Amino acid sequence: MSAMSIFKISSTFPSKIRQYSVRWAHQLSRASYAQTLLNQPETKVTELDNGFKVASEYSDSPSATVGLWIDAGSRYETPATNGVANFFEHMAFKGTNNRTQKDLENEVANIGAQIHSYTDREETAFYARCLPKDINKVVDILADAINNTKLDEHQIEEERSVILKKLSEAESDLRLVTFDYLHLTAYQGLLFRKVCWGQLKTSKKLQRKI
Protein backbone atom coordinates (compact mmCIF):
# COMPACT_ATOMS: atom_id res chain seq x y z
CA MET A 1 0.00 0.00 0.00
CA SER A 2 1.37 3.38 -0.98
CA ALA A 3 2.00 6.21 1.45
CA MET A 4 -0.71 8.25 -0.34
CA SER A 5 -3.30 5.49 0.26
CA ILE A 6 -2.37 5.31 3.93
CA PHE A 7 -2.73 9.09 4.19
CA LYS A 8 -6.19 8.99 2.60
CA ILE A 9 -7.36 6.31 5.01
CA SER A 10 -5.95 8.05 8.08
CA SER A 11 -7.34 11.44 7.04
CA THR A 12 -10.91 10.14 6.68
CA PHE A 13 -10.82 8.15 9.92
CA PRO A 14 -11.21 11.16 12.28
CA SER A 15 -14.17 12.47 10.27
CA LYS A 16 -15.87 9.06 10.54
CA ILE A 17 -15.36 9.17 14.29
CA ARG A 18 -16.83 12.69 14.45
CA GLN A 19 -19.87 11.64 12.41
CA TYR A 20 -20.44 8.65 14.67
CA SER A 21 -19.97 10.82 17.78
CA VAL A 22 -22.49 13.37 16.53
CA ARG A 23 -25.08 10.68 15.72
CA TRP A 24 -24.50 9.03 19.10
CA ALA A 25 -24.82 12.38 20.87
CA HIS A 26 -28.11 13.09 19.07
CA GLN A 27 -29.48 9.67 19.98
CA LEU A 28 -28.40 10.13 23.59
CA SER A 29 -29.96 13.59 23.65
CA ARG A 30 -33.28 12.26 22.34
CA ALA A 31 -33.21 9.41 24.84
CA SER A 32 -32.40 11.78 27.72
CA TYR A 33 -35.18 14.15 26.65
CA ALA A 34 -37.69 11.30 26.43
CA GLN A 35 -36.65 10.02 29.85
CA THR A 36 -36.93 13.51 31.29
CA LEU A 37 -40.50 13.78 30.00
CA LEU A 38 -41.37 10.43 31.55
CA ASN A 39 -39.95 11.56 34.89
CA GLN A 40 -41.98 14.77 34.95
CA PRO A 41 -44.77 14.78 37.54
CA GLU A 42 -48.33 14.68 36.24
CA THR A 43 -49.93 18.10 35.85
CA LYS A 44 -53.53 18.18 37.06
CA VAL A 45 -55.81 20.91 35.73
CA THR A 46 -58.93 21.79 37.69
CA GLU A 47 -61.49 24.50 37.04
CA LEU A 48 -63.08 26.58 39.78
CA ASP A 49 -66.72 27.66 39.80
CA ASN A 50 -65.74 31.07 38.43
CA GLY A 51 -63.99 29.51 35.42
CA PHE A 52 -60.51 30.04 36.83
CA LYS A 53 -58.22 27.17 35.79
CA VAL A 54 -55.63 25.85 38.22
CA ALA A 55 -52.71 23.66 37.12
CA SER A 56 -50.91 21.83 39.90
CA GLU A 57 -48.26 19.14 40.18
CA TYR A 58 -46.49 17.32 42.98
CA SER A 59 -42.86 18.05 43.76
CA ASP A 60 -40.58 16.64 46.44
CA SER A 61 -38.69 19.94 46.54
CA PRO A 62 -38.49 21.66 49.95
CA SER A 63 -39.91 24.79 48.29
CA ALA A 64 -43.07 25.49 46.30
CA THR A 65 -43.82 27.73 43.34
CA VAL A 66 -47.18 29.38 42.89
CA GLY A 67 -48.09 31.87 40.20
CA LEU A 68 -50.62 33.52 37.99
CA TRP A 69 -50.36 33.47 34.20
CA ILE A 70 -52.67 35.92 32.43
CA ASP A 71 -53.60 36.12 28.74
CA ALA A 72 -52.38 39.71 28.59
CA GLY A 73 -49.35 39.77 26.33
CA SER A 74 -48.70 42.13 23.43
CA ARG A 75 -50.67 39.93 21.00
CA TYR A 76 -53.85 41.10 22.74
CA GLU A 77 -52.97 44.80 22.46
CA THR A 78 -53.87 47.32 19.79
CA PRO A 79 -51.28 49.61 18.16
CA ALA A 80 -52.48 52.35 20.54
CA THR A 81 -52.17 50.23 23.67
CA ASN A 82 -49.00 48.30 22.81
CA GLY A 83 -46.99 48.12 26.02
CA VAL A 84 -49.88 48.31 28.49
CA ALA A 85 -49.29 44.75 29.79
CA ASN A 86 -45.63 45.53 30.44
CA PHE A 87 -46.65 48.80 32.14
CA PHE A 88 -49.08 46.96 34.42
CA GLU A 89 -46.42 44.41 35.31
CA HIS A 90 -44.21 47.26 36.50
CA MET A 91 -47.06 48.72 38.59
CA ALA A 92 -48.40 45.50 40.15
CA PHE A 93 -46.41 45.63 43.40
CA LYS A 94 -46.35 49.40 43.88
CA GLY A 95 -49.17 49.20 46.41
CA THR A 96 -52.81 48.11 46.58
CA ASN A 97 -55.99 49.37 48.21
CA ASN A 98 -55.15 47.10 51.16
CA ARG A 99 -51.35 47.18 51.32
CA THR A 100 -48.72 49.82 50.70
CA GLN A 101 -45.66 48.97 48.63
CA LYS A 102 -43.70 48.71 51.89
CA ASP A 103 -46.31 46.34 53.34
CA LEU A 104 -46.01 44.07 50.30
CA GLU A 105 -42.23 44.07 50.48
CA ASN A 106 -42.22 43.32 54.22
CA GLU A 107 -44.76 40.50 54.00
CA VAL A 108 -42.82 38.81 51.22
CA ALA A 109 -39.50 39.25 53.06
CA ASN A 110 -40.90 38.00 56.38
CA ILE A 111 -41.76 34.60 54.91
CA GLY A 112 -38.57 34.40 52.85
CA ALA A 113 -40.44 34.28 49.55
CA GLN A 114 -39.20 35.51 46.17
CA ILE A 115 -41.63 37.10 43.73
CA HIS A 116 -40.90 37.42 40.00
CA SER A 117 -42.80 38.63 36.96
CA TYR A 118 -42.43 38.95 33.20
CA THR A 119 -44.34 40.07 30.13
CA ASP A 120 -44.29 38.12 26.88
CA ARG A 121 -46.19 38.28 23.61
CA GLU A 122 -48.75 35.76 24.85
CA GLU A 123 -48.90 36.33 28.58
CA THR A 124 -48.04 38.31 31.66
CA ALA A 125 -46.93 36.22 34.63
CA PHE A 126 -46.52 36.80 38.35
CA TYR A 127 -45.08 33.93 40.37
CA ALA A 128 -43.38 33.29 43.69
CA ARG A 129 -41.16 30.68 45.30
CA CYS A 130 -41.87 30.02 48.95
CA LEU A 131 -42.08 27.34 51.63
CA PRO A 132 -45.07 25.00 51.19
CA LYS A 133 -46.59 26.20 54.46
CA ASP A 134 -46.73 29.75 53.10
CA ILE A 135 -48.60 29.02 49.86
CA ASN A 136 -51.91 30.45 51.12
CA LYS A 137 -50.16 33.63 52.22
CA VAL A 138 -48.45 34.02 48.85
CA VAL A 139 -51.71 33.42 46.98
CA ASP A 140 -53.33 36.16 49.06
CA ILE A 141 -50.47 38.58 48.29
CA LEU A 142 -50.54 37.82 44.56
CA ALA A 143 -54.32 38.11 44.39
CA ASP A 144 -54.27 41.46 46.17
CA ALA A 145 -51.43 42.82 44.03
CA ILE A 146 -53.17 41.89 40.78
CA ASN A 147 -56.83 42.59 41.62
CA ASN A 148 -56.42 45.68 43.78
CA THR A 149 -53.45 47.49 42.27
CA LYS A 150 -53.74 51.12 43.32
CA LEU A 151 -52.25 52.64 40.15
CA ASP A 152 -51.27 55.87 41.88
CA GLU A 153 -50.79 58.68 39.35
CA HIS A 154 -47.47 59.77 40.86
CA GLN A 155 -46.12 56.22 40.80
CA ILE A 156 -47.36 55.79 37.23
CA GLU A 157 -45.25 58.75 36.12
CA GLU A 158 -42.24 57.48 38.07
CA GLU A 159 -42.52 54.07 36.45
CA ARG A 160 -43.12 55.62 33.05
CA SER A 161 -39.70 57.27 33.32
CA VAL A 162 -38.13 53.89 34.13
CA ILE A 163 -39.88 52.19 31.20
CA LEU A 164 -39.01 54.95 28.73
CA LYS A 165 -35.37 54.75 29.76
CA LYS A 166 -35.33 50.99 29.21
CA LEU A 167 -37.02 51.37 25.82
CA SER A 168 -34.48 53.99 24.77
CA GLU A 169 -31.63 51.69 25.80
CA ALA A 170 -33.26 48.80 23.92
CA GLU A 171 -33.42 50.87 20.73
CA SER A 172 -29.64 51.24 20.84
CA ASP A 173 -29.11 47.50 21.32
CA LEU A 174 -28.49 46.21 17.80
CA ARG A 175 -29.19 42.61 18.78
CA LEU A 176 -32.62 43.44 20.20
CA VAL A 177 -33.49 45.74 17.30
CA THR A 178 -32.50 43.07 14.76
CA PHE A 179 -34.55 40.42 16.56
CA ASP A 180 -37.60 42.72 16.69
CA TYR A 181 -37.39 43.46 12.97
CA LEU A 182 -37.02 39.77 12.18
CA HIS A 183 -40.07 39.04 14.31
CA LEU A 184 -41.98 41.87 12.66
CA THR A 185 -41.11 40.52 9.22
CA ALA A 186 -41.96 36.92 10.07
CA TYR A 187 -45.35 37.82 11.56
CA GLN A 188 -46.26 40.86 9.48
CA GLY A 189 -49.98 41.44 9.53
CA LEU A 190 -50.42 39.14 12.55
CA LEU A 191 -50.91 39.81 16.25
CA PHE A 192 -47.48 38.36 17.13
CA ARG A 193 -45.70 41.17 15.30
CA LYS A 194 -45.90 43.63 18.22
CA VAL A 195 -43.02 43.89 20.69
CA CYS A 196 -43.93 42.71 24.17
CA TRP A 197 -42.60 45.73 26.09
CA GLY A 198 -44.24 48.39 23.90
CA GLN A 199 -42.84 51.37 22.06
CA LEU A 200 -41.69 54.81 23.10
CA LYS A 201 -44.54 56.63 21.37
CA THR A 202 -47.26 54.50 22.98
CA SER A 203 -45.67 54.25 26.44
CA LYS A 204 -45.53 58.04 26.60
CA LYS A 205 -49.31 58.24 26.14
CA LEU A 206 -50.62 55.36 28.25
CA GLN A 207 -52.91 56.57 31.03
CA ARG A 208 -54.55 55.07 34.12
CA LYS A 209 -57.83 54.77 32.23
CA ILE A 210 -57.61 53.57 28.63
From CA 145, how far away is CA 147, in angstroms rounded?
A: 6
CA distances 35 to 38, 168, 191, Å, are 5, 44, 36
> Cβ distance 157 to 193 under 8 Å?
no
> Cβ distance 83 to 197 under 8 Å?
yes
123 a catalytic residue: no
Task: Out of 42, 57, 77, 89, pick the active-site residue.
Answer: 89
**Largest Cα span, the chain:** 89
Positions marked active-site: 89
